[in-house]
Homo-oligomer: A and B are copies of this chain.
């Protein structure tokens, strides 16, 4: 007899659902379009139908213990309540946990998606051997989650881990969020590309830099060319790593958490970012704290969401 959990990752364009074993193995997986413009009942029905389908495929005696859901936005644990999630226009204040429990009969836990992804890495991924770590996701934006003693750290109202909005320059450029000089404003995907275009002039011998006159570069171009020793790409990614290191150093000083797990599309450039970030911390952090700092790449990729959501079910 085996136990399973259903992990659900509600994204802006698709809802991913997976049946996950206690060991973090994905047994069955599916994805449906997000009906974010409709009432939340539409999403609840999608989840209930998929859970029913998963259940039908189980062997006799096997059991689903519960459902975990990651959603964008701040989540109140009371009723698993989501309030005005930015990418789900049809939702207002939704007691999603209660609705899914009623529709499926299963206990349902709801948590912010960045926290869920961090938790997934902590239970089934790079963080497996670390009780406490900070996860940073580098993509369109810069997101994060903090895990302390194997638990998601939520803060007073579930908003903790908004790492992208640490200011690294008090009089820096305005961020969409209303703050100035946020780290996201420097190393969000499009900001990296902007910086690359501003920098091409310094690298007349770089073949990649020369192509930048005719087209908009992409972060993955930089990663691919850095591997080929292109000094322009190495310079731009090194700049990203250094600024990331500034934000991580401040987090280290506040939290004394020394393990950082770096994921997201931009982190595909790997050591060309992580190396300079680690060097920055080890040369700028307080001497008493800098030694044991570790930056490690996330390993779960796009599955961190469903795995973390399922892991919440097993946490009890």
Indicate whether A79 reaches chain B with its CB closer than 8 angstroms. no
Q: Which residue of B lies closest to A174 (CB)?
A: B284
Question: A154 with B253: in contact, given A159-B289, A170-B246 (CB under 8 Å)?
Answer: no
A302–B244 Cα gap in the complex (Å)? 38
The size of the chain A interface, using a CB distance under 8 A, is: 44
Inter-subunit contact B155/A255 (CB<8 Å): yes
- Nearest CB on B from A228, distance (A): 29
How many angstroms between the C-alpha atoms of A287 and B246 in the bound complex? 24
- Cβ contact within 8 Å between B243 and A157: no
In the bound assembly, the distance between CA atoms of A265 and B205 in angstroms comes to 56
Residues 162-175 of chain A, each 1 if its beta carbon lies under 8 Å from chain B, else 0: 11011111110000
The smallest beta-carbon distance between A164 and chain B, in angstroms, is 8
B257 in contact with A162 (CB, 8 Å): no
For the complex, what is the distance from the CA of A256 to the CA of B76, rounded to whole Å? 13
B284 near A179 with CB under 8 A, answer yes
Q: Is A160 an interface residue (CB 8 A)?
A: yes
User: Chain B contacts of A159 at CB under 8 A?
Assistant: 253, 256, 286, 288-289
Chain B min CB distance to A112 (Å): 11
Q: List 20 A-B contacts (CB under 8 A).
A: A74-B288, A154-B256, A155-B256, A155-B257, A157-B289, A159-B289, A161-B256, A162-B254, A162-B256, A163-B253, A163-B254, A166-B253, A166-B254, A168-B168, A168-B169, A169-B171, A178-B284, A179-B285, A251-B254, A254-B254
